[in-house]
């Protein structure tokens, strides 16, 4: 009975001393833990975490059973555990920081691309670019010629562009088809599209490091997955062997696209961001007196 009374008194004391900052602290910690667990479950880090937990259990058992040699060895291992975790989880840590940078507060204001062109102009360029890409991809599919086309989003791909040949051309089905013609010098690399323009071609992409990729996938598909894993880019792939059209995004490869489904998917993924911007611009033009003040 005394135990229950003491427990109840302790609980009431915690309730009375509970403040708004405590609630905020719990919410933030829960959010961080949730996203960390979500990140771990989506990557190979899950198996590594299980291994570390097993080592922790062995260390606790060795300490309890007074196995001094084992516990001392594991203690030394855990002392350097932080460095080991950084080395082992380097791709996952990089991916998490990139996701935080893309989704963080004020991302759209820090994105350099937002200052380069009017959003309505860029949206129109992308509409033309998407149509040209779809037309070219369908023709390349018919001819069984491979293609790898990267649409740059918020993550800037300057290092990828530097690895290829700068073009800066307005997109058309003919230009895209000529670039990926199997005798052309740039056909083996990737084409990068920035702000609705063909920025560069013959670019080298990072290959995926995932061990869950099917062995039937070739280099183009592995490069598409790798690019989508380290950035928010959207990558269109045409298989040279089968002519199959695929799209890679956020480390996931979707396959068997047709002309209509590819166009619909690209418009949904790319043009949605400009629809929001144009809505804001329309409102500001419609109510200019908000900034200028009332006329006398």
Q: In terms of Cα–Cα distance, which of 99, 105, 109, 104 is closest to 277?
A: 109
Calculate mean pLDDT across residues 22-26: 83
DSSP state letters, 196-249: TEEEEEEE--PPP--TTS-TT--HHHHHHHHHHHHSS-EEEEE-TTT--EEEEE
What is the Cα Rg of the chain in Å?
A: 26
Calculate mean pLDDT across residues 75-80: 78
Asked if residue 90 lies in contact with residue 74, where contact means CB atoms within 8 angstroms, the answer is no
Element at 48 (helix H, strand E): helix 45-64
pLDDT in tens, 84-134: 777 766 766 666 676 666 555 444 444 444 444 567 888 889 999 999 999
- What single-letter DSSP state applies at residue 154? S
For residue 102, give both structure tokens: 């893309």
User: How far is 187 from 193, CA to CA, in rounded Å?
Assistant: 15
pLDDT of residue 204: 94
User: How far is 236 from 238, CA to CA, in rounded Å?
Assistant: 7
Q: Does residue 202 have a pLDDT over 90? A: yes
Highest mean pLDDT among 28-37, 100-109, 196-205: 196-205
pLDDT of residue 96: 66
For residue 269, give both structure tokens: 């993924």
Calculate mean pLDDT across residues 56-68: 85
User: How far is 70 from 61, CA to CA, in rounded Å?
Assistant: 10
Other beta carbons within 10 Å of 15: 8
pLDDT of residue 151: 96
Asked if residue 252 lies in contact with residue 221, where contact means CB atoms within 8 angstroms, the answer is no
Q: What is the rounded average pLDDT for all residues in the chain?
A: 80
Calculate mean pLDDT across residues 270-283: 63
Calculate mean pLDDT across residues 162-188: 92
Q: Does residue 295 have a pLDDT over 60? A: no
pLDDT of residue 225: 94
Calculate mean pLDDT across residues 125-150: 94
User: How far is 117 from 139, CA to CA, in rounded Å?
Assistant: 31
Question: What whole-number percentage of the chain has pLDDT above 90?
Answer: 35
- Sketch the domain layout of the chain as residue ranges: 2-103, 112-280
Q: Does residue 291 have a pLDDT over 80? A: no
Homologous superfamily (CATH) for 112-280? DNA integrity scanning protein, DisA, N-terminal domain (3.40.1700.10)
pLDDT of residue 112: 43
Other beta carbons within 10 Å of 256: 8
For residue 46, give both structure tokens: 């899950």
Calculate mean pLDDT across residues 139-165: 91
pLDDT of residue 274: 66
* CA separation, residue 8 to residues 16, 18, 22, 121 (Å): 12, 15, 20, 66
Which residues partner with 193 through β-bridges? 151, 198
What pTM was computed for the model? 0.63
What beta strand segments (E) does the chain contain? Answer: 147-151, 165-169, 190-194, 197-203, 234-238, 245-249, 252-254
Higher pLDDT, residue 193 or 277: 193
Q: In terms of Cα–Cα distance, which of 279, 296, 274, 288 is closest to 117?
A: 274
User: How far is 231 from 233, CA to CA, in rounded Å?
Assistant: 5
Q: Are strands 147-151 and 245-249 parallel, antiparallel or unpaired?
A: unpaired
pLDDT in tens, 215-274: 888 899 999 999 998 888 999 999 998 899 999 998 899 999 999 999 999 999 998 876
pLDDT of residue 75: 81
Residue 152: pLDDT band by 50, 70, 90 thresholds? very high
The burial class, CB within 10 Å (0-12 / 13-18 / 19+), for 4 is exposed
pLDDT of residue 245: 95
């Amino acid at each position: 009975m005394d135990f229950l009374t003491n427990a109840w008194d302790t609980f009431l004391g915690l309730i009375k001393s509970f403040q708004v900052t405590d609630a905020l602290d719990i919410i933030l910690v829960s959010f961080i833990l949730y996203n960390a667990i979500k990140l771990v479950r989506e990557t190979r880090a899950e198996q590594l975490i299980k291994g570390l937990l097993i080592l922790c259990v062995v260390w606790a058992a060795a300490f309890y059973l007074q196995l001094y040699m084992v516990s001392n060895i594991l203690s030394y291992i855990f002392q350097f555990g932080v460095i080991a975790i950084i080395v082992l989880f380097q791709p996952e840590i990089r991916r998490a920081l990139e996701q935080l940078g893309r989704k963080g507060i004020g991302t759209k204001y820090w994105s350099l691309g937002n200052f380069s062109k009017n959003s309505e102009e860029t949206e129109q360029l992308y509409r033309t670019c998407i149509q040209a890409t779809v037309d070219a991809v369908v023709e390349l599919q018919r001819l069984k010629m491979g293609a790898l086309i990267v649409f740059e989003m918020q993550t800037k791909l300057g290092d990828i562009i530097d690895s290829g040949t700068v073009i800066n051309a307005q997109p058309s089905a003919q230009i895209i088809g000529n670039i990926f013609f199997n005798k052309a010098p740039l056909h083996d690399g990737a084409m990068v599209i920035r702000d609705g323009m063909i920025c560069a071609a013959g670019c080298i992409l990072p290959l995926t490091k995932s061990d869950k990729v099917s062995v039937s996938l070739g280099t183009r598909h592995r490069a598409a997955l790798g690019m989508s894993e380290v950035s928010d880019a959207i990558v269109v792939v045409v298989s040279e062997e089968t002519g199959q059209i695929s799209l890679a995004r956020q480390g996931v490869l979707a396959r068997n696209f047709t002309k209509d489904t590819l166009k619909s998917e690209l418009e949904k993924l790319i043009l949605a961001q400009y629809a929001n911007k144009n809505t804001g611009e329309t409102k500001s033009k419609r109510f200019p007196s908000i900034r200028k003040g009332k006329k006398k």
